[in-house]
């Protein structure tokens, strides 16, 4: 994801919803040990901080130096820039070595990865038995109320032509088509992600920051297309109920959790 979010890493931090704490307690409950976790594609560290509440130590990595500049400090979390040029052996040494990691998390990022390479590395790193890997994301089709939802749906459709990175369909399908070659632990499996929800109370300005942080909106901007011109913003504002109104937004989410054999 390096480069896609670099131009608005601060907006990404401000606008994105926070992952619920009970997600992390659930994952910790599935772990045999809670010594070491790896948060891959950490971005600004939203998931890493949640993991750190449950695990002794978290290694958080990302290919984007810009995103890491906005990462939230935490005494249990160590952030590392991991450029694509790093080899698997270098990654293994950095994170902890083979059979060392109790939990791997990838929050709203695995659809950007080279999946065969990442899964092979994850399999080597996970502790056997008992190491857990969890990947999740959330839909850009947010739920507010019927009037606003219909306007947002039209805007969402306008963004789809710019959501053309190679693995976009995994995200658009809610990870139902995402390859996930790990044994089920009863919380999502390949082809059958667990459906979850996140809620965030935001102002209209906060919502706009969220929309502007979408990768498709940034991609369109780089191509000279403004997907949020004044008339579109005004239509969204009217359907929202006015710029001063604060509403609760529900984000439909999906997660897959698995383990490797002994």
Q: What phi-psi label fits residue 188: left (phi over 0), alpha (psi between -120 and 50 degrees) or beta?
A: left
Reduced to 3 states, what is the DSSP secondary structure of residue 233? helix
Place of tokens 């999946």: 115
Alpha helices, H only, the chain: 9-15, 21-30, 46-52, 65-68, 88-95, 115-125, 146-159, 168-172, 204-212, 215-222, 230-240
Provide block-wise average pLDDT over 10 residues at a time, the chain (262 residues).
44 65 96 97 95 98 93 96 96 97 96 94 96 92 90 91 77 92 95 93 89 87 93 95 91 95 68
Give the global pTM. 0.87
> Which domains, from first to last, does the chain contain?
6-259 (3.40.50.150)
Q: pLDDT for 74-98, tens place per residue? A: 999 999 999 999 999 999 999 999 9
């Amino acid at each position: 994801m390096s480069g896609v979010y670099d131009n608005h890493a601060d907006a990404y931090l401000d606008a994105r919803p926070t992952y619920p704490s009970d997600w992390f307690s659930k994952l910790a409950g599935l772990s045999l040990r809670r010594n070491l976790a790896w948060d891959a594609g950490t971005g600004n560290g939203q998931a890493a901080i949640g993991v750190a509440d449950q695990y002794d130590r978290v290694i958080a990595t990302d290919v984007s130096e810009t995103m890491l500049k906005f990462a939230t400090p935490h005494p249990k979390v160590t952030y590392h820039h991991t450029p694509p040029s790093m080899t698997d052996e270098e990654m293994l040494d950095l994170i902890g070595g083979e059979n060392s990691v109790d939990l791997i998390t990838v929050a709203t990022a695995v659809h950007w990865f080279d999946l065969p390479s990442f899964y092979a590395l994850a399999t080597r790193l996970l502790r056997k038995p008992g190491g857990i890997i969890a990947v999740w994301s959330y839909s850009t089709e947010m739920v507010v109320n019927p009037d606003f939802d219909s306007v947002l749906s039209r805007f969402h459709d306008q963004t789809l032509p710019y959501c053309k990175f190679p693995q976009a369909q995994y995200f658009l399908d809610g990870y139902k088509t995402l390859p996930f070659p790990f044994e089920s632990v009863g919380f999502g499996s390949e082809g059958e992600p667990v459906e979850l929800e996140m809620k965030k109370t935001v102002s209209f300005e906060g919502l706009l920051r969220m929309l502007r942080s979408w990768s498709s909106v940034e991609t369109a901007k780089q191509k000279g297309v403004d997907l949020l011109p004044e008339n579109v913003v005004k239509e969204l504002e009217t359907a929202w109920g006015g710029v001063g109104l604060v509403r609760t937004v529900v984000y439909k989410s999906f997660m897959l959790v698995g383990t490797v054999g002994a």
